[in-house]
Structure 1
Amino acid sequence: MKNTFDIDYLTYIESFITEDRQQRFLDVLKNRTKHFTVAIEDVFQLHNTSAVMRTCEVFGIQELNVIEERFGKDIDKEIAMGAQKWVDVNRFNSTAACINNLKERGYKIIATSPHESSSPLDTFDITEPAALFFGTEKSGLSDEVIKAADGFVHIPMAGFTESLNISNSAAIIIQDIANRLRQSDIKWNLSEKEIIDKRIDWTRKTVKDIDFITQKYLEGVV
């Protein structure tokens, strides 16, 4: 259901950006999805977290979940290339909290791991909403994620090297499932409300002195 206040407020603040910018937001949001989300667990190297965020943004994954149980950090803005403005980052201080949150929101927990029951990427079932977990560079995913997982997926490899850097793995997997998703009949798009919410969010992040402008708007509608 549309919220009249949100629509009116959006119309007001969009008057402070160009029509081309407004259309760009709409075009990008047509390709955004929450059917899949990504979770990264205690990734030590900051640039990998930022690179995964950038990959999510490029391929239309709207949410990134970051577990910082051991390694608290800030996003490396240089590597993220502004992606932090357009991707929603949910932060958790424990793996359990992240898993519980995602399960409550209807996501299957999918561990990216060469587990004995792991599915090759090209046969991975994309029909159900899933949270794809990526682990640390050295030790992979924790036992907690492995035990909670509803399924596993891996990238088939043909060389001597048995693993990829997390940012490379995330890029390969996210690109594959995002492209397959858009070619499917699955209802993967954001809801009307989610689109309006993101238009407001992105416009607010674009407009200079948005707090002052918002206050003026509120004074006019009270």
Structure 2
Amino acid sequence: MERVEESEIGVPPWPGGPQAWPDAPHYDPELLAHGDRRNVADRYRYWTLEAIVADLDARRHTFHVAIENWQHDLNIGSVVRTANAFLAARVHIVGRRRWNRRGAMVTDRYQHVQHHASVGELIDWANDEDLPVLGVDNLPGSVPIEGYPLPRACVLLFGQESVGLSDEARAAAVDVLHIAQFGSTRSINAGAAAAIAMHAWVEQHADLPAPAEA
């Protein structure tokens, strides 16, 4: 795929100069004046960061995503970016507080991220919020995610790359779900698994747009 330079992304300054600028409070004068090069949906062009987050908060889905971070998992940024795309309520980082934000592509500015020092702390939080925690890992005794009735409000918990869910996470989960695979590899990338699981929730519970007419 051909790389697109950042300068080519987005929209130029609002045409017509300041006298033509819209005066609604969600517009950012700096972006109107200089253009909006951010990787945001067209509906959010020229909006302030705060206005975008407020609009997302009004529409967020009721599933949460949690990922263990004991060894500085590089997949976390990808998980945050996908959680933003699927409008997750919140991403929970379990273990080390620091995580590699590069893969998030600045979407962490729009996505709520919460830290928990341990799996037990996450479970206590989930219990207080009355949210079942579902692990996602291809373990013996796990249940296929295909056809599994995901709760409308829940936490999808992922382990880190290579080692999967910790023993504590496995024991705390209501169920552990696996994603059907058909090739030679034992497992798929943690970021990819998170994307598939989030989309499984979307297919069951999100208000999907009507198909375009041919």
TM-score calculated relative to the size of structure 2: 0.68
CA–CA separation in structure 1 for the residues paired with 2:100 and 2:171: 29
Q: Greater share of helix residues, 1 or 2?
A: 1
Indicate the residue corresponding to 2:5 in structure 1: none
Aligned 8 A contact 2:80 2:107 in 1: yes
CA–CA separation in structure 2 for the residues paired with 1:178 and 1:72: 28
CA–CA separation in structure 2 for the residues paired with 1:155 and 1:137: 15
Deviations 1:48-99 (A, max 9, x none): 111100000011112000012xx442442x3211211111111011111111
CA–CA separation in structure 2 for the residues paired with 1:105 and 1:138: 30
CA RMSD of aligned residues (A): 2.6
Structure 2 counterpart SS, 1:138: coil
- Aligned counterpart in structure 1 of residue 78 of structure 2, from 51, 54, 78: 51
Aligned residue type for 1:146 = R
Which fold has the larger relative contact order, with Cα–Cα distance below 8 Å and residues 6 or more apart in sequence?
1
Deviations 1:183-222 (A, max 9, x none): 59xxxxxxxxxxxxxxxxxxxxxxxxxxxxxxxxxxxxxx
Deviations 1:158-194 (A, max 9, x none): 111120111111111112212321159xxxxxxxxxx
Aligned length: 167
Indicate the residue corresponding to 1:91 in structure 2: 115
- Aligned counterpart in structure 2 of residue 160 of structure 1, from 184, 192, 196: 184
- Aligned counterpart in structure 2 of residue 36 of structure 1, from 59, 63, 67: 63
CA–CA separation in structure 1 for the residues paired with 2:150 and 2:176: 12
Aligned 8 A contact 2:81 2:107 in 1: yes
- Aligned counterpart in structure 1 of residue 193 of structure 2, from 169, 172, 175: 169
Deviations 1:21-57 (A, max 9, x none): 3886676456421x21011012534431111000000
Give unmatched runs, 5+ long, in structure 2: 1-23, 29-43, 209-214
Aligned 8 A contact 1:109 1:131 in 2: yes
Give unmatched runs, 5+ long, in structure 1: 1-13, 185-222
CA–CA separation in structure 2 for the residues paired with 1:16 and 1:27: 10
Identity of aligned residues (%): 23
TM-score calculated relative to the size of structure 1: 0.66
Q: 1:128 to 1:177 in 2, by over 3 A?
A: closer
